[in-house]
Amino acid sequence: MDAKKINQIVLTAIKVVTVLVVALLIVIIAYIIGRGLPHMSLHFLFTESEAFLAGGGISTQLFDSFYILVLTLIIAAPLSLFAAIYLAFYAPQNKLTAFLRMVIEVLSSLPSIVVGLFTYLIFVVNFNFGFSLLAGAISLTIFNLPILTRNFEESLDDIDEAQMQGGLALGLSKWKTITSIILPAALPGLITGIILGAGRIFGEAAALIFTAGQSTSQVDFTNWNPFSSDSFLNIMRPAETLAVHIWKLNSEGLVQDATEVSAASATVLVLIVIIFNLGARALGANLRNKMMGDR
Amino acid sequence: MLEVKNLKLFYGDNEALHGINLEFKDKQITALIGPSGCGKSTLLRTLNRMHDDNQNVRIEGLVSLDGKDIYQKDTDLLDLRKNVGMVFQQPIAFPMSVYNNVAYGLQVAGIKDKAALDAAVEKSLKQAALWDEVKDMLDKSGLSLSGGQQQRLCIARALAVEPEILLLDEPTSALDPISANKVEETLVSLKGKYTMVAVTHNMQQAARISDWTAFMMNGDLVEYGKTKEMFISPKEQRTDDYLNGRFG
């Protein structure tokens, strides 16, 4: 067979596989949304869930999903940013750094259930956190540090070396150059990295089952005192996120309309993750455009 | 006055500069030429201590500016780099407005007076031959300018802090010919105001803009002299070979 023909066959094979993968993805998303959309309504989004009767919603689960996401990012984003800055600009090229990178890789491939159990033993039991939003956020932090760190490091590496040199040549210290020149230049990438990480955090269930708990407590959305036990802001109360809710409904759901609620919840989850991803792109591109001006 | 005496530089155990002696002429352009890896950029970076952050680099010998050793312990790096500005190969502005790009060095140095900043920005942009092109868009992002404009913005940024010396590390090699030409014109117009040291790969450029040329090879300074004389009748065979394209 001549090279031209082989080339054509391989190319066709690649195209077919690509189409298959994309088609599979579209079918899955269409299936989830197709099943869930009929049961979705504003009422569903903004009503509390029922324990036994049909007609409940997911308001608390939805809120808790976002709340735990925000808590996680508050802990994880600064840690990852510092780690990324260290790796990108300060870490010497030696065995210790190589080892550090390997540890990060290993951390990112740990099964989330293992991270969940680890957090359960250390924080929930040993430190007496109990099932709580905070324990859940810590678990998600451990689980997402590697991804965030890598995302951040990549966007910092993308910044041209000339920026660092330009800052140093003006007499700025390395740290000052990083904070005043490199970070602003990397901002679009950093924000995209955060939002993409957020999508992962939002859909995570296994790491939360043993940390944030599997049930919603009585939550009072009018109580703004974060230290009060039934306040929606209390970070020490147990919480059930949307992903955990779906898992729970399917494994031991007692509500009459468990199947419908589960399908609609899955739809909400998928839609939000899609919105995160599209939003990340749009926001990143928008910031980049703003920075470059309209050339 | 900028002067280098018996300067040696080591990357680890590897000696990259073998005792360079060079006296840069005031208010003129000196071109550093030579084949890739000859140490010309390395030498340039010793002049404002850009190697400081590289722990692998060790420097021996003397670099003196106005009679003072810049590698002494009590040298204030901010002062030194204010006095010895630098422009790099990649023409990239800081991610801030055109105005702030130029004013930033002054602001870091503690100057807050708006009128003084305005005056310095205008003066520097005029010296860099960029004022007419950007005077109506000072609050636009510096990154929105073309490559050639950004490089002149980088020159203005370096000039704003009123240095004595301007180091140029292949300042036009990432630019298209027309932009490169403008940057060259800018540099020529700055003669008489600043002492400039330019590393260049481009022999024609060295011939066009420089008054003095230093030819380096393998970490040695082979020949140093007036550009016109060196290009017409080099004293060393190796210089002759290089200038006539027999190697490098």
**Spatial contact of B16 and B39, defined as CB atoms under 8 Å apart:** yes
From the list A169, A187, A294, the residue facing B81 with the nearest CB is A169
Phi, psi of B185, deg, nearest 5? -60, -40
Compute the mean pLDDT over every residue in chain B, rounded to the nearest whole number: 90
| pLDDT over 60 (residue B248) | no
Output the six-digit token pair for A126. Answer: 């040993």
Q: Residue B139: is it exposed, middle or buried by C-beta count within 10 angstroms (0-12/13-18/19+)? A: exposed
Q: Quote the pLDDT of residue A161.
A: 86
For the segment B49-61, the average pLDDT, to the nearest whole number, is: 88
Q: What does the pLDDT look like over A46-86, one tens digit per residue?
A: 888 877 777 778 888 888 899 999 999 999 999 999 999 99
Identity of the residue in A160, A187, A293 whose CB atom sits nearest the CB atom of B92: A160
B72: phi then psi, degrees, rounded to nearest 5: -70, 155
Sign for the CA dihedral angle at B194, B199, B200, B204 comes to positive
Look at domain A40-294 and name its CATH class. mainly alpha
Asked whether the beta carbons of residue A160 and residue B90 sit closer than 8 angstroms, the reply is: yes
**Is the pLDDT confidence value at A294 over 60?**
no
- pTM value? 0.82
Nearest CA in chain B to A174: B53
Residue range A237-253, pLDDT digits in tens: 888 888 898 888 888 87
* The predicted structure's pLDDT at residue B91: 87
3-class state of residue B20 by DSSP: strand
pLDDT (0 to 100) of residue A295? 43
- The partner residue sitting opposite B88, judged by closest CB among A166, A172, A295, is A166
Q: What is the pLDDT of residues B66-97, one digit of tens each?
A: 988 999 988 888 889 989 999 999 888 999 99
Interchain CB contacts (distance < 8 Å): A and B? 73
* B49 interface with A at CB cutoff 8 Å: no
Q: Do A171 and B105 touch (CB under 8 A)?
A: yes
> Nearest CA to CA, how far is B212 from chain A (Å)?
24
| Chain A contact set for B88 (CB, 8 A) | 162, 165-166, 169
Look up the ipTM and state it: 0.84
Cα–Cα distance between A241 and A14 in angstroms, integer?
39
Among candidates A167, A184, A293 on the partner chain, residue whose Cβ is nearest the Cβ of B144: A293
Token pair 């790099």 in the structure block, residue: B88
Q: Do B86 and A169 touch (CB under 8 A)?
A: yes
Alpha helices in B109-202 (DSSP H): 114-127, 131-134, 147-160, 177-189
pLDDT over 70 at A11, yes or no? yes
What is the mean pLDDT of the segment spanning A190-218? 85
Pairwise CB contact (< 8 Å): B94 & A172: no
DSSP B26-76: TTSEEEEE-STTSSHHHHHHHTTTTTTT-TTEEEEEEEEETTEETTSTT--
DSSP of chain A: --HHHHHHHHHHHHHHHHHHHHHHHHHHHHHHHHHHGGG--HHHHHSPPPSSSSS---HHHHHHHHHHHHHHHHHHHHHHHHHHHIIIII--SSHHHHHHHHHHHHHHHS-HHHHHHHHIIIIIIIT---S-HHHHHHHHHHHHHHHHHHHHHHHHHTS-HHHHHHHHHTT--HHHHIIIIIHHHHHHHHHHHHHHHHHHHHH--HHHHTTT-SSPPP-BTT---TTSTTBTT-TTS----HHHHHHHHHHH--STTHHHHHHHHHHHHHHHHHHHHHHHHHHHHHHHHHHH---
Chain position carrying tokens 């310095």: B120
pLDDT digits over A99-148, tens only? Answer: 998 998 888 888 889 999 999 999 999 998 888 889 999 999 998 899 99
Mean pLDDT of B213-222: 92
In this complex, is the C-beta atom of B92 within 8 Å of any C-beta atom belonging to chain A?
yes
For all residues of chain A together, what is the average pLDDT? Answer: 88
- Which pLDDT score is estimated for A293? 61
| Distance spanning both ends of chain A, measured CA to CA | 50
Residues listed for chain A: 295
More confident residue, B167 or A109: B167
